Structures are given as structure tokens and as C-alpha cells.
Structure 1
Amino acid sequence: MAHQQHPEILVNGDIRKAPTNQAFFPITNFHHFHNDANINFQLNRFLIPGLEDMFAEIGRHVENFDDWKNLFFAKAVAFEKEGNTDYAMELYRAAEFFKDPADPNKKMAFEKYLRFFYHSKEGKNLERMSVPYGNNHLHGFRLTPTIPTKGIILIHGGFDSHSEEFYTLGAAMCENGYEVIMFDGPGQGSTLMFEKVPMTHEWEKPVAAVLDYIEAQNVTLIGMSLGGYLAIRAASREKRVQRVIAYDVMLDFFACVTSRRGKVAGYLIKGLVSMRLSFVLNAFAKLMMKRDMYSQWGIAQGMHVMGCKTPYEFFFKLKEYNGYAASVNVAADVLIMAGAEDHFVPLVQFFEQLKLLTAARSVTGRIFTRKEQAQSHCQVGNLGLAAANMISWIEEHSFTTSTNPTE
């Protein structure tokens, strides 16, 4: 098998022309709603087209997470009373996002989101799934095309998402003839909320469980956000994955988390973890959480997702979430995506990731820019462009599979 040693790197221009329905993906652009990068990103992430003024107004009044919860919850309740459950659904999800896991309203808001979501999909080609996983289950759904299927695509999220959140991406791919399986792995969505299964860096295990359940041998795997690492890890060990997309790149999660807190704090965290000074790191983490909204949410969310009791345990587990060793064992076709101004992932990880994929059958890298309104994490602002690139890339590589993917 010939391996591509020089990745194809694409920057700017919608040069991949797969059809995507603008009803699925209206271009929302990336707006400045808030001075805090993470708050601003999440406002853009949950933005409902046509409600830009409302989101801008919310952004002007968010000074802490209580403000976020209360403002979005009030809007969700108002739209629900009006009978607009589509808007209410999205706003309940936004309200739930920054709620503390111990807050009973978090589960209530999430359950409303799910109820409205699945009610809105009744009569469509959506089948809910519950995949056995040890003593628990992975939750998700299957989208079946009305035309003969071109293949199977598995999609999962990362650090803070639910599979239902990516429905439009899956629906666009299904409309183009693909059977799509969207699932919450350990530490994600309904699997975390209802099954209490914490995340694992050994992502080949949940992927194998899904593949066994649907009895598939030749699939495309797409991992979003932290899923950019998880999918690469799974593809390095699960040979039934013949095409893998990191949407976006996430080579080293520990580096992403620590670099976001500034050079001094980053060096201090790395040193305290390497010296295993748990007491000092826990004290420092609590100080950061009092002073910085990003740290307050990120550390609490990380402990919740990974089943950790202390910040030290969370930071120590983070070191397992890197693709340096796994990347060199990926034999599939690979697409690595990146936002040129991603506030989570340093762009240098994009180029480092490409260099490591030495055994891949082919490697393509795509950087999205401000000119395309897709410069942010996971191309929030122009999701349709990201979807078009993925669909075209999958179709270009549909006939380059191994003759025996189980080997």
C-alpha cells in the first residue's frame, strides 16, 4: 500500500463542491457578542439565525454563569409558552450548557431539549439507538437515506456536546446518500447524563461497540472538537474505520487546556502535574476558578466528564488525551480540519498532526479562515462550508478502502 508522505493542505476557497442544503446550513457569520472569547464562542455556537439581536442583547448582560443560565432559561420558557418549541429547544440547550452538573435544573433543561428535539423529528428517517456498552449503553440515533446508501458515517462529539446537536450535519450527509450513526460515547450527552459513564481516552472501545452493534466493516468516522483526538485514536486501533475526519484537529488536549490559561499558569500546571503535587495544584486550580470564568467552567466540566473528584485528577488524566503515539498507526484516509483563529486549539497542532500521520493511506489538511467566516473552532459561523468539504472528501475517498479492513 502506498502512503502519502506530503499531505495536501487546503486554505481558503470553497474548492470542495459537494451539495449542501442551505436550509440545513444558513451562513450565520461569526459575531462579536462578548469580550470573553469562550462566552463569545458559545453565543455564536448556539445562535439561532434571525435572533442575532436577541443574542447580542444577552451577550451585553452576561457577566457570570448565573446571568447566562437565567437569561437563556427565561427566553426558552417564553418561546415555549408561545408554542415555538423549535426555538425553545435550542434555548433550553444553551441554558443547560453552563449549569453546574449538581443543579437539578440542568437535567430538567436537557430533558426538555431532548423531548422537543425528538418530537420535531417524528415521521422522519430517524431511529433512536441504545448500544450495549459493558453494563451500560451508548445513546444515539441512526439516519437512513431514501436512496441506495453510499456508505456508513459515524459521528461523535467531544468535551461538551450532545449527538442531537449535530443533527443538521448528519441530515446533510444523509441527504447525500449516506447512512449516518450519531452517538454519545462515554462522558458525552445522554450517555453521561443518564448512564453516568465517564469519558475514556481509549476511544476504540465505544467505536467498536457501535460497529459491532450495526455489524459494519467499512466506515467513515468523524470526531468533533476533542473528538478530533478521539477519532484519530480510534482509527489507529479499529481497522474497520477506513476514513477518519478530525473536525477539528485536537492533537494534544492537555496542551490546549493549559495554554489557554497563559504562559505562566500553563508552565505552573505542567510542573505541578509532573511533580505530582496534588495539594498545590488543587489550591491553584481553585484560585483560577474564582478569578476566571473559563477556568471555572472548564475545570468543573472536565471533572464531571472524566469522573474526577479533584482538579489535580482531571489535569493528570488530560495527559492521556494526545495523539502522538496513535497517529503513526493510522492506516486510513485522513482529513484534518482547523480554524485559523481557533481560540481552543493552537494552529501549530494542525501542522504537527499532519507530520505524524506517516502510515496513512492519504492525508488532507484544510484550514478555514476569517474570509470564509469559518475561522473559529469547528467552523462555527459557516458550518455549511465545513459540511461541504467533509462530504466531498468522503466521496473522493470512497473507493480507496483496504481489500480487507478487518486485518
Structure 2
Amino acid sequence: MTQIFSDALHEQLGMWPIAYIPYGGADFGEVRSVAQTIGDGDDNAFYDAWTEAADRMMDEGRVAEAHGHRVSAREYYLRAACFYAKAFHPHFGYPVDPRIFESSRWQIDAFNRALALGDDPVEPVRIPFETSSMLAYVIPAQGRPNERRPLLILTNGYDGTITDPFFASAVAASRRGYHCLIFDGPGQGTTLIDQGIHMRPDWEIVIRAVVDFALTLPNVDASRIVSSGWSLGGYLSPRAASGEPRLAACVADPAQSCIADGFRAYAIKLGATPKQAAQLSLLPDALIERMEEIIAHDRKLTWSFLKRGYWVNGASNLREYLASVEQFTMSGRIGNIQCPTLFTLAEDDPLASGTQAFFDALQCPKKLLRFNKTQGAGEHCEMTNRSLLNRKVLDWLDEVL
């Protein structure tokens, strides 16, 4: 697809809503209009353009709702929620920009308004977790809200907010007769923004609390609860399955067994020995300094690591960050996954480089789905043909469950 945002980072972040077009998150012309408004502008222009578009949608939604047009109002509110969520992404990092707090609140308000206007109204809930709680929504199977049905627990990625799995997966699954549970886990969305709770590698602990909550719902078939994750969720979902036996199936898009492997390869490329790269947190000072210099001179790397990475993982420097990343590993746990498991592998997705080896190591019933650019689905999480991914995954779940 031809690039529509002038800036590469804006293109990376601003194109997410393209995946949500079939599911009510945006239309192409709306995204293109935002890109044209930003032009050669900076991250402030990015924030302003998305926010102004979302504000207009909220105004349209209120007018439609006041005139009794509930369907139109719901659609406006859903788009507004999606656009507010995109606005603050380039501003991730310490210190936390005040615009992140306000945009997050606007996003949740728009989302709540939209879900309240559905044929099967949905309200936010809180899932107890350790000393706090996590924002969540139970999206019912379309037209079958009270039926005892399978449940998909949708785990988000590294920088997604709660509306992302709604548009990316929950709408499609709901149409196919699945209840869905979306939530902000540690290091994600409101749990990070409002509570300052950082990402953690032992996602089996997180999912245990989510499954405990799910089992209190009268419309959930306890024997058919699925963990599905995308982006970083492609590590978190299998990790959950390795320690939560109540799961009936696991989906990882794309599957990742060790988040640190990419960093190890890069360290070796910069001159580290394999022995040194085996413990990233102990890399020589000179190599850490070189990595910091390279990151500082690359806008996308600066955002990915120094801004997003440090904030999400709770790190204050590169060595701390690398130490935290090393904890995200399936080492010694792959054999614990017993439920049927589906992995995806898009040919141009750099995060899928270890998916085949991870798949080969699985000892459970398993399937690997490959996606390529001729299908328009060769990129990370099949974002330019998300509906194809959903059809394939849901077909597999229909068969397995």
C-alpha cells in the first residue's frame, strides 16, 4: 500500500485503523484525511489531527443520539474511540504527557457510549487482580447474549489500548457466535496509564485472574475458554496457556517464544560475542553506549525503546530495559502447553522470525497458518487484511471447539 503519512513513525501508528474498517473503527477516507491534515507536521500535529477528527465524530454522535438515531450514534462513537486512541501514541514515555491521560479518558467515554447503544448493551467491568483491578468488557455473541457459548479472552499487544482488540478481533468473533472478553492487563491501556502498573512476563498469573472472573459469568461455557493474543500477545497468550490448564485452546498472532532473541541478534551484529549476548543485561558498557547512540539517532527506535519500552516495562535506562526483556521467555515451559494451539506467521512480520521453531517445539495438537503479501496479509498481525486472519482463526476454533 502506498504510504499516506509523510513521517515513517506516523505511518506505523496511524495505519492501525485500516485494519478496523470492516469492523466499524474507521473508513479509509477518514484516515487519509487525518494524514493530509498532519502533512509534514510533528507529533503534536499528529495528536491534534486525530483528536479534532474524534471530536467531530463525538459531536455527530450526540446529534444523532438526540434525534433518536441510535445506530448512527453508536457508529460515530466507535470511530471516535478509535481515533482518540491513536492520537496519543507518539507521546508514549516518561514523563507521562498529560494528553495521554485526557485522550485515554475520552476514548473510554466514547467507547462506553457506543457499547451502551448496541442491541445487546455492554457496560465496563473491573476484574480483581492482586491489589488492584483491570478494566474489561464482555462482548456478547451477536444476537445470543444470554446463550451459554465459548469465550475468547483477547490479550492485547505492547502498545495497544482496549479498543484495539475490540476492532481487531472481538467484532468478528461476536458475529460468529463467540462471547469475547477484552481487558487492559498490566502494562496496557488504562492499567498502565491510570495505575502505573507495568508489563510482566508471567502472563499465566494474569490470565488466571481473568479466567476466575469469566467463570462467574452465566453465559460462558467453562469448557470452551480460549486465550488469543496478537503482537506481544503472541508471547503472552502461549505463556498463559503454559500455566492455566482451564484453557480449551490458544491462539498466538504471531507466536513468540523469547522476546529477547531479536536483541541478542542485534547485539552480536554490533560486535558482541554469543556468550555476551546470552545475558543482555551484562553487555559491556561500550556496547550498551553504542546501542544507545544508534537508538538515539533513529526516530522509530527512540519511540520503540526509549519512550514506549521504558514506560511499559518500567525501566529507566537501556540496561534495565534489556534485563526486563530477558524475562519474557518460554524457556522450559513450551511442553506445559497441552491445549490445541494455533500460531500465525506473516511472511514480512519481523516478530514472526522465531515462530516456526516455536511451533516445531510444541507437543500439543497444533496448527500453523501462513499469510503472505499476495493476500495483502504479509505484514505484522495481518493489519492490511485483518478480516482474512479472522476468518481463518475462527474457522479453526469452530473445528476445535
Structure-2 residue corresponding to 1:297: 303
Deviation at 1:153, TM superposition (A): 1.2
Distance (whole Å) between structure 2 residues aligned to residue 192 and residue 269 of structure 1: 34
Distance (whole Å) between structure 2 residues aligned to residue 263 and residue 153 of structure 1: 40
Deviation at 1:36, TM superposition (A): 6.7
What is the identity, as a one-letter code, of the residue corresponding to 1:303? Y
Residue 47 of structure 2: which of 66, 69, 78 is its match? 69
Distance (whole Å) between structure 2 residues aligned to residue 55 and residue 210 of structure 1: 36
What is the identity, as a one-letter code, of the residue corresponding to 1:180? C
Deviation at 1:132, TM superposition (A): 0.9
Distance (whole Å) between structure 2 residues aligned to residue 40 and residue 259 of structure 1: 26
Q: Does 1:310 align with 2:313?
A: no
Distance (whole Å) between structure 1 residues aligned to residue 312 and residue 136 of structure 2: 18
What is the identity, as a one-letter code, of the residue corresponding to 1:380? M
Distance (whole Å) between structure 2 residues aligned to residue 182 and residue 336 of structure 1: 20
Structure-2 residue corresponding to 1:154: 153
Structure-1 residue corresponding to 2:22: none
Distance (whole Å) between structure 2 residues aligned to residue 77 and residue 267 of structure 1: 52
Structure-1 residue corresponding to 2:115: 121
Distance (whole Å) between structure 2 residues aligned to residue 266 and residue 68 of structure 1: 38
Q: How many residues align?
A: 364
Distance (whole Å) between structure 1 residues aligned to residue 382 and residue 2 of structure 2: 13
Deviation at 1:324, TM superposition (A): 3.8
Equivalences for residues 161-240 of structure 1 within 5 A:
161-168=160-167, 169-215=169-215, 216=222, 218-240=224-246
Gap change, CA 1:171 and 1:53, over 3 Å in 2: closer
Structure-1 residue corresponding to 2:397: 394
What is the identity, as a one-letter code, of the residue corresponding to 1:248? P
What is the identity, as a one-letter code, of the residue corresponding to 1:192? L
Cα shift readout 1:206-264 (whole Å, capped 9, x = no counterpart): 10001112224541110111111111111011111120000222232223456679933
Deviation at 1:88, TM superposition (A): 3.6
Structure-1 residue corresponding to 2:33: 54
Deviation at 1:53, TM superposition (A): 3.2
TM-score (norm 1): 0.80
Gap change, CA 1:50 and 1:39, over 3 Å in 2: closer
Equivalences for residues 353-372 of structure 1 within 5 A:
353-357=358-362, 359-360=363-364, 362-372=365-375
Deviation at 1:44, TM superposition (A): 1.8
Higher relative contact order (CA 8 A, sep 6+): 1
TM-score (norm 2): 0.81
Report the 3-state secondary structure (helix = DSSP H, G, I; strand = E; otherwise coil) of the residue aligned with 2:321: helix
CA RMSD of aligned residues (A): 2.9
> In the alignment, is the contact (CA less than 8 A) between 1:244 and 1:332 conserved in 2?
yes
Taking only the aligned residue pairs, the percentage that are identical comes to 19
Gap change, CA 1:288 and 1:337, over 3 Å in 2: same
Which is further off, 166-175 or 177-186? 166-175
Structure-2 residue corresponding to 1:14: none
Report the 3-state secondary structure (helix = DSSP H, G, I; strand = E; otherwise coil) of the residue aligned with 2:384: coil
Equivalences for residues 237-386 of structure 1 within 5 A:
237-256=243-262, 263-264=269-270, 271=277, 274=280, 276-277=282-283, 280=286, 283-299=289-305, 300-342=307-349, 344-345=350-351, 347-357=352-362, 359-360=363-364, 362-386=365-389
Deviation at 1:326, TM superposition (A): 2.1
> In the alignment, is the contact (CA less than 8 A) between 2:249 and 2:339 conserved in 1?
yes
